Structure 1
Amino acid sequence: MSGIVIDNVWKEYGDQIVLENVSLTIEPRGFVALVGPSGCGKSTFLRMLLGQERPTRGAILLDGQPLPPEPGPDRGVVFQRYSVFPHLTVLGNVMLGKELTKARISARLFGAARRQAREEAEAMIAAVGLSGSESKYPAQLSGGMQQRLALAQALMMKPKVLLLDEPFGALDPGIRAEIHQLMKKLWHENPMTVVMVTHDMREAFTLASRVVAFERPRDRPEEKLRYGATITKDISIWPPRQAGTPSIFRPDRDGPVTTDGLHRDDPAHRR
């Protein structure tokens, strides 16, 4: 399970109110896109889900339990800037999470444990389409490949929740479309809930099962400090999208993707 409950959350920095009275329930394996104007608190909200920030008031629950006060392996994150380590290879970047959690002192696994971690990392690298690049360094990869690497790095720890902070905004349109297909595939195949911040409305409606809009109802200059943003719209995508299940009306666009990169009901796949 990976359900999230946000109950009457406020976030304040001194006298400035950033978010006010935010309540939201995200079902397990949902895919929620957060949209809204710049500066309305979307990234702050994402950082609270990650554990980098704490609510001033209210509660955030993950699987019915209070969210741990610090980031942990149950929550993976991918940022717009490629959050990978430049001195490590593709394989080293993906293996690092396992090594840090299972070998806290040496940060390096040995023997059977290392072989198992390597096999898992190689499988994840293949899942994001980077087979053959295991020995390359991030500087040798294109932007799209680096973002695939960041996704592999986050998913290696099998998080309950994957948080995406405008992860595809810097990509060219063609590369972004490829990453969108990959993101759908990963969401269908991995038991996780996804929360994504984006300024791209088309991206939000292409990927998400729900689109949630943040906005400041009072946005005059003299009001910005004393009134924060809140949820103004919560739109469920129709036809519904459900992880692991093809859409009834658009199976070729919204259903699970096969290993050859096509959707299960794509005519090219049937041939």
Structure 2
Amino acid sequence: MSFITVNKVWKEYGDQVVLENLSLSVKKGEFCTLVGASGCGKSTFLKMLLGQETQTRGELLLEGETFPGEPDRNRGIVFQRYSVFPHLTVRQNVLMGLELEQKPWLGKLFGGARREALEKVEAMLESVGLGPSAHKWPHELSGGMQQRLAIAQSLIMRPRVLLLDEPFGALDPGIRADMHDLLLKLWRETGTTIFMVTHDLKEGFHLGTRLLVFDKVRNDPHEPQAYGATITYDLPIGRTNSKLLDDINQSLKETARSQAA
């Protein structure tokens, strides 16, 4: 059985069609990278997987069951902007998720439960390279370190699905390369199923086991909102060639030009 099934999914806002007729089957542990022109619905698709948005038509299934209607611990997300709490230390930021899960009213753990949670937090901080920074405040961290913290916040909950919305877009190239290595390391260790939006085609091929290209196949200049994007390429990484990459790049550039016209 497929881990995640997307069956003829559409997303519309009134007369605006954002996504149309998406169909996809994803196995547990796959790393899917999503590329496409700005505004073609990649982030909207992530929001549907997270539970922030509901499809207009079609089915979205997790192991054969309808996706939960609201975000839960099984789905973690990391955005381009660092989603950390500035009034909490690094350790407290990562601990908060465990505390709220076990003690949603008090938001605090005590005794053995707290010691066990802190052991998990320390292990997670070490795995993302933040062990020596556990007592620092987020504003004392570099951009790359803050993004490591955001990833730790998500992974401490052991989500079954990790959603990344351009998580490295604001980082310098050298820091991005370090973050790539970190993400691949954590993915191999946890076996989490990952969906990652990126505008960098090379990044998509470097990180993913599967590249999903979102693009509009139908355009009407008189009704630009009448048609939505769909998945035009679904590529297993390692089975592509330079001509295909050129074709994808050209297709995305043509879409961007038509949107700007």
TM-score, normalised with respect to structure 1: 0.86
CA–CA distance in structure 1, aligned partners of residues 2 and 70 of structure 2: 17
> What is aligned with 1:161?
161
> What is aligned with 1:198?
198
CA–CA distance in structure 2, aligned partners of residues 160 and 42 of structure 1: 20
Partner SS for 1:199: coil
> What is aligned with 1:55?
55
Partner SS for 1:29: coil
Displacement, 1:13? 0.3
Task: Kindly indicate which of the two structures has a greater share of residues assigned to helix.
Answer: 2
> What is aligned with 1:12?
12
CA–CA distance in structure 2, aligned partners of residues 105 and 176 of structure 1: 38
> What is aligned with 1:25?
25
CA–CA distance in structure 2, aligned partners of residues 7 and 106 of structure 1: 41
CA distance 1:15–1:75, change in 2 (3 Å): same
Q: Residue type matched to 2:32 in 1?
A: V
Structure 2 counterparts to residues 148-187 of structure 1, below 5 A: 148-187=148-187
CA–CA distance in structure 2, aligned partners of residues 227 and 98 of structure 1: 42
Per-residue deviation, residues 41-77 of structure 1 (Å, max 9, x unmatched): 0000000000000000111111221100000000000
CA–CA distance in structure 2, aligned partners of residues 131 and 145 of structure 1: 11
Identical counterparts, % of pairs: 59
Displacement, 1:218? 2.1
> What is aligned with 1:130?
130
Indicate the structure whose relative CO is greater, using CA pairs within 8 Å and at least 6 residues apart. Answer: 2
Partner SS for 1:162: strand
CA distance 1:44–1:121, change in 2 (3 Å): same
CA–CA distance in structure 1, aligned partners of residues 145 and 199 of structure 2: 22
Structure 2 counterparts to residues 95-134 of structure 1, below 5 A: 95-134=95-134
> What is aligned with 2:210?
210
Is the Cα–Cα contact under 8 Å of residues 4 and 62 in structure 1 kept in the other structure? Answer: yes
Is the Cα–Cα contact under 8 Å of residues 220 and 226 in structure 2 kept in the other structure? Answer: no
Is the Cα–Cα contact under 8 Å of residues 2 and 192 in structure 1 kept in the other structure? Answer: no
Partner SS for 1:217: coil
CA–CA distance in structure 2, aligned partners of residues 97 and 80 of structure 1: 20
Is the Cα–Cα contact under 8 Å of residues 33 and 195 in structure 2 kept in the other structure? Answer: yes
Per-residue deviation, residues 202-254 of structure 1 (Å, max 9, x unmatched): 110000000000101123432321111111001111169xxxxxxxxxxxxxx
CA–CA distance in structure 1, aligned partners of residues 43 and 148 of structure 2: 21
Q: Residue type matched to 1:234 in 2?
A: D
Structure 1 runs of 4+ aligned residues shifted over 3 Å read none
Q: How many residues align?
A: 240
> What is aligned with 1:249?
none
Structure 2 counterparts to residues 68-79 of structure 1, below 5 A: 68-79=68-79
CA distance 1:232–1:191, change in 2 (3 Å): same
CA–CA distance in structure 2, aligned partners of residues 26 and 169 of structure 1: 25
Displacement, 1:131? 1.1
> What is aligned with 1:257?
none
CA–CA distance in structure 2, aligned partners of residues 186 and 5 of structure 1: 24
Partner SS for 2:132: coil
Is the Cα–Cα contact under 8 Å of residues 164 and 195 in structure 1 kept in the other structure? Answer: yes
TM-score, normalised with respect to structure 2: 0.90
- Consecutive unaligned residues of structure 2, counting only runs of 5 or more, are 241-261
Q: CA RMSD in A?
A: 1.4
- Consecutive unaligned residues of structure 1, counting only runs of 5 or more, are 241-271
Is the Cα–Cα contact under 8 Å of residues 76 and 163 in structure 2 kept in the other structure? Answer: yes
> What is aligned with 1:37?
37
> What is aligned with 1:141?
141
CA–CA distance in structure 2, aligned partners of residues 222 and 180 of structure 1: 42
Partner SS for 2:86: coil
